[in-house]
Structures are given as C-alpha cells and as structure tokens.
Amino acid sequence: MSFLNKYEKIKINKFIKKGYLINKTENKKSLFYISNLVNKTASKILGTKKINLNYIHRLVEKKHLNEFRLSVIKNINKDRNLRYHYFNVGKSNLYELVGNELMMQKNINLSIQFPNDETSLLPIHSDVWSGDSAFEINLWLPLVNCYRTKSMYILKENKYEILLKRIKKLKIKSSQKIFESVKGYLKWIKIDYGNYLLFNQAVPHGNIVNSENETRWSMNCRF
C-alpha cells in the first residue's frame, strides 16, 4: 500500500524518467542568506563592496580563479548556518524523493565558470563511475541565471543504454569521445536564480566552455 498522494507520485515518476527536477526555492529567506553569504565572502576576499557575481571575471584574473574559488568555499563553510539554509532550499522535495532519514554532505561545493575559460570544465561523467553511491541525489543551486553553455547538461532520458553500448562497441576511453558520441542526446539545463535543480548523479552530466559573456556561479551538495 502506498501512502503517497497523486501529486507526489507524478513528481517521483517524472524524476525517475527524466533524471532531474527543477523547482522554485522553497524558502526565500534561506536562499537570500546563502546568496548574501557568498557575495559578502567573495567581496571581503577581494577587498571590495558588494559585487555582481555575473561579472566577477572582470575582478579576478583567470590564473587566480581556482585559488579564489577555494578560498570562498573554505570561508562560507565556516558558517554554521549554511548547511541548515541549503537544506531548507529544497527540503520538501528531498523528503519526497529521498526520504526523511537523510545524510548530508559535510561541505557545500561551489563552481565558478568564467566566460571562455577552459580550466573550469567538468567532462561528461556519472558520479557513480568514480565510486559515489547510486542512492544519492544532488541539490544544485544557481546563484545567477544559468542558460545554454553557462549551465550544465544532462543525458536525456532513456539514452543511458545507448551510451553504454557505444562505449563498448567503439571502445571509447576518453570523456571527450564519450561526449562527441552522445552530444545529440544531451539536455541543457535552463534554470534561473530563485530555483534549484535536483538531479540523479548516476545520470551522465557535465559542462563545456562557457561561451556566454557572464560568469556562472552554482553550488551543489549531495544528500
């Protein structure tokens, strides 16, 4: 006997089929807390006032990007309230999709991708390929509007078997060749600030060079 209502069943089946779900932030105060914390931390590191995250590439040299990113990550994770607010961003959907007995990743990750920067790429991959649990779900939170190459991609539903067959048949051994073999089956995620993405990290995903004129800021955490 199922205790799920009709709406919950539709949502769960949709997530299982597509591999991801986009929803409005469930707690605007928590989103503001996170966004403000990141902005204040980045501004303090740079010794400036509040910044426009979309154009941070005008203030930080590309060669210093990773050092800057790691410094922001280290400092925001010192905040004892960060994980509480991050969880509250998508609490109800996490309960519905994963359950209410949750383990949460200790530190929240942050990605910063400058325009035309080839050093911040995450080639197509599935997290389970490198040992992560297939029972984890990733809450991906944009701090700016993300679209086209300023976002991430995910393999479309029902294409995973095709990918595995091509890897085996063509004896593909590099992520770039994997990408080329299935690029027609990739879904680019369009998601604006104020929304969050929950995705099945077992489904292949990644990004390419950001060819837009704005920087991508996104956070992610596994549950």
- The two tokens of residue 16 are 């299982």
The pTM for the full model equals 0.92
- The two tokens of residue 192 are 């604006």
Cβ neighbours around 34 below 10 Å, total:
23
Q: Please state the φ and ψ torsions of residue 121, each to the nearest 5 degrees.
A: -95, 145
How would you write the pLDDT of the chain (223 residues) with one tens digit per residue? Answer: 677 888 888 888 899 889 999 999 999 999 999 999 999 999 999 999 899 999 999 999 999 999 999 999 999 999 999 999 999 999 999 999 998 899 999 999 999 999 999 988 888 888 888 888 888 999 999 999 999 999 999 998 888 787 777 777 767 677 788 888 788 989 999 999 999 999 998 888 999 999 999 999 999 999 9
- CA nearest 117: which of 177, 63, 70? 63
The one-letter code for the residue type at 80 is: R
CA distance 44 to 131: 36
The residues facing 24 across adjacent strands are 195
